[in-house]
């Protein structure tokens, strides 16, 4: 099975919990998952990334992602990278999931290939974010199988 880097952007912990649930499910399906809760670009060496990030403040990246984003902006070629993004946000804000959107745009700008549309999870929805992410996961697995 494949190995992937699971990159987490979390300010209050909800994205971390969603990422941990996705990791458990992927590992139960035979994937090797490298979890990065304080991601550093040099440590994310797999050609497949799954990013789970919340949006903080007025559409900002969570603080733990800021050094990673700076490193991405300074990088030149990510053309070997395939990725998917799960965003967690609050749809009552006009910046709903902007961190996820901006990160996907940055990766594409650097040459990476986006496998799926961003999975935009709304914390105002009655379903738990982790349940929504687990329900989405088969789409991701189908893309990378």
pLDDT of residue 12 exceeding 90: no
String of b and e for 49-83 (b: at least 16 CB within 10 Å)? bbbbbbbbeebebbebbeebbeebeeeeebeebbb
pLDDT exceeding 90 applies to what percent of the chain?
90
Is 80 exceeded by the pLDDT of residue 1? no
Mean pLDDT, range 4-16, rounded to an integer = 93
56-70 pLDDT tens trace: 888 899 999 999 999
- CATH class of the 3-144 domain in this structure: alpha beta
pLDDT of residue 35: 97
Over residues 82-137, the pLDDT tens digits come to 999 999 999 999 999 999 999 999 999 999 999 999 999 999 999 999 999 999 99
SS3 111: coil
In this prediction, residue 99 carries a pLDDT of: 97
Predicted pLDDT of residue 94:
93
Domain boundaries, the chain: 3-144
Neighbouring residues of 10: CB distance < 8 A, sequence distance ≥ 6:
16, 19, 37, 52, 53, 54, 62, 64
Rg (CA), the chain: 14
* Whole-number pLDDT of residue 125: 93
């Amino acid at each position: 099975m494949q190995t992937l880097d699971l990159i987490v952007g979390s300010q209050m912990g909800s994205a971390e919990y969603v990422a941990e649930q996705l990791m458990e499910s992927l590992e139960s399906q035979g994937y090797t998952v490298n979890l990065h809760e304080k991601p550093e670009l040099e440590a994310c060496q797999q050609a497949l990334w799954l990013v789970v990030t919340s949006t903080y403040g007025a559409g900002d990246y969570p603080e733990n992602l800021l050094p990673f984003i700076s490193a991405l902006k300074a990088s030149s070629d990510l053309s070997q990278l395939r990725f998917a993004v799960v965003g967690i946000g609050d749809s009552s804000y006009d910046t709903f999931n902007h961190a996820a959107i901006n990160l996907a745009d940055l990766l594409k700008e650097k040459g990476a290939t986006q496998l799926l549309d961003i999975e935009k999870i709304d914390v105002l929805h009655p379903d738990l974010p982790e349940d929504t992410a687990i329900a989405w996961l088969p789409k991701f697995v189908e893309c990378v199988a």
